[in-house]
Chains A and B, each alone.
Chain A
Amino acid sequence: MAKKVFGRPESLKETYFHYCPGCGHSIAHRLVAEVIDELGIRGTTIGVPPAGCAVLAYNYFDIDMLEAQHGRGPATATGIKRALPDRIVFSYQGDGDLAAIGMAESFHAANRGENITVIFINNAVYGMTGGQMAPTTMLDQRTTTSPAGRNKILDGYPVKVSEIFSQLQGTTYVERVTVNSPASVNKTKKALKKAFQCQIDGLGFSLVEILSPCPTNWKMTSVASCKWIDEVMSKEFPLGVFKDNIAAVKKPAEAAS
């Protein structure tokens, strides 16, 4: 009998993604589902999808989910987690959601050190509404609301979420990854697993920023999009671990127990 080496994660429903070809959301969804399966937390996890392309995430994840209004995911997640501290709670957010309209909610949930996980999809553009400028849009990048390219004088600069959040005393684990190659996908999965494990261990706020291709709004092919992440985007948003306090937080926690 043939051994099954690849299958659909239990935490994903049997349906097709509505995401565009080459979009990073599909990969990120699958990785989150795989990690939930592997950690054995499908039955205790509650997810909070954002407003944006991933607004329909509850159609894909086969776990309990509560819709949040645009940007309010971390506040909603705070409510869930504080009411049910033994559940695993994550908020899935885009760049407009986290770094523009919901900056206050995200920043303060992080600063309070809420024991939740934030999955941050950074694709440098507003996807669902049709390619407008995001807080993470590159300088000179053309979007439908920066037709001449993002102008630093008028539009300010790309917001570096991982850099900013790693400075907050309340955060435990912050890493920026991408999903533009098999190797980077594997790395992203490791980061997600670490972030969820951090929460399971009660060690505090974790954030994984995923640089994610958006071929449709970048007006590129899928392959070119993956290349653009390497050549342009990751220059502005360098990959890597920005904060890993897991060991430091774990020690006193273990000493206490």
Chain B
Amino acid sequence: MNKVLMSGNNIIAEAAIRAGCRFYAGYPITPQNELTEYMAEHMRNVEGGVFVQSESEIAAIHMIIGASATGARVMTSSSSPGISLKQEGISSMAACELPGVIVNIMRGGPGLGNIRPAQGDYFQATRGGGHGDYRTIVYGPATCQELADLTMNAFDLADLYRTPVMILADGMMGQMMEPVVFKKPKPRQYSEKFMLRGAGQGKSKFFRGLILDAIDMEEHNWKLERKYQVIIKKETLHEEYKTEDAELVIVAYGTAARIAKGAIKRLRENGMKVGLFRPITLWPFPELKLRALSKKVKNYLVFELSTGQMLDDVRLALQGYAAIDFHGRPGGVVPTPAELANVIARHYETID
């Protein structure tokens, strides 16, 4: 067990290379530049490793599409405005059923926004983001160890379901350092029949998302949907912290969940029964687990570094079974645990 101290951006890159990623294309944007730089430095030392600094985020996603089609494990990364540019390609990957990992180190938005940590891209990530009927598996890691583990998982799921997978973190996760242990990656299983490597002596193949016949396109949509239903059933992840006796549960993910945990520790010391429900997969959202919790806990406070996006999923999950309140800090503000504890404590006083 070799523990190393690395920044989140570097951890994602290292985990990707260890997981067998051999093609990376990206374009510089703060706060994820260290990831691109790490790939530039380390891909060249890996056999078969390719790094391309693309002319744009659009070009980067289409480069990884090309490489993915050949059977390479591929990744691109960016931050919020750059992820908007990649949506065309992500939609295309979903349509053509091409695996790949996309990293979004979120910053303040909309527009150019700023470079501070924020969670304003939840809708974009979990609702597909690009055009058309599709979903993207989205991981919302909250620790550097999870960045490493979930990055490796992301490659496995991308292959298994032949679909793009997104790591949704933020500027703080990207920049902070924590000790991390890289687990042993699973051996890759990916059939040659999903690779374009030249027809050889055999039959030629093509991959496409253009299906002009409406009935055929409908069938393709339902095929994708059936796949998404399997993912919902099998791949949902979440964490519960001190919910057993909780009167109030905070629902938060990623950086917001860390701050919430710190706040909960403080409140528990003062005898307040507060817990945390933390979705680890943001899509699929752990809807049934949260609904099950509402049998015991009737009060929820959603905390996000946004004006309230995951809030919609919490509402859908709880369906009126419990009271939901919201606290948000958009725009790049990261409150301290003490500040959040005050907010929660005030709310706690008002519940029955």
- Residues of A in contact with B (beta carbons under 8 Å apart): 42-46, 48, 55-56, 58, 61-69, 72, 75-84, 87-88, 104-105, 107-108
Size category of the B interface is 35 or more
Tell me, yes or no, whether B241 is within 8 Å of chain A by CB.
Answer: no
Which residues in B have their C-beta under 8 angstroms from that of A83? 22-23, 50, 66-67, 70-72
Complex Cα spacing A25 to B178, Å: 57
Complex Cα spacing A72 to B210, Å: 15
Tell me, yes or no, whether B54 is within 8 Å of chain A by CB.
Answer: yes
Choice from A46, A62, A105 contacting B55 with Cβ under 8 Å: A105
Tell me, yes or no, whether B198 is within 8 Å of chain A by CB.
Answer: yes
Residue with the highest number of chain A CB atoms closer than 10 Å, among B22, B54, B59, B67:
B59
Q: Could you tell me if B199 and A78 are in contact, using CB atoms closer than 8 angstroms? A: no
Q: Which of B88-96, B109-117, B317-325, B343-351 contacts A (4 or more CB under 8 A)?
A: B88-96
Question: A42-B199, A65-B204, A87-B197 known; 14 other A-B pairs, CB under 8 Å?
Answer: A44-B200, A56-B210, A58-B208, A65-B196, A66-B196, A68-B65, A72-B89, A76-B62, A78-B63, A79-B63, A82-B23, A83-B71, A105-B58, A107-B55
Complex Cα spacing A43 to B71, Å: 17
Q: Could you tell me if A67 and B207 are in contact, using CB atoms closer than 8 angstroms? A: yes
Q: Could you tell me if B58 and A62 are in contact, using CB atoms closer than 8 angstroms? A: no
Complex Cα spacing A43 to B202, Å: 8
Contact status of A62 and B50, CB under 8 A, knowing A67-B210, A72-B89, A79-B25: no
Nearest Cβ distance between residue B104 and chain A, in whole angstroms? Answer: 20
- Residues of B in contact with A (beta carbons under 8 Å apart): 22-23, 25, 50, 52, 54-56, 58-60, 62-72, 74, 88-89, 92, 96, 196-201, 204-210
Which residues in A have their C-beta under 8 angstroms from that of B197? 46, 64, 84, 87
Q: Could you tell me if B59 and A66 are in contact, using CB atoms closer than 8 angstroms? A: no
Which A residue's beta carbon lies closest to that of B48? Answer: A83
Nearest Cβ distance between residue A155 and chain B, in whole angstroms? Answer: 24
Complex Cα spacing A66 to B65, Å: 9
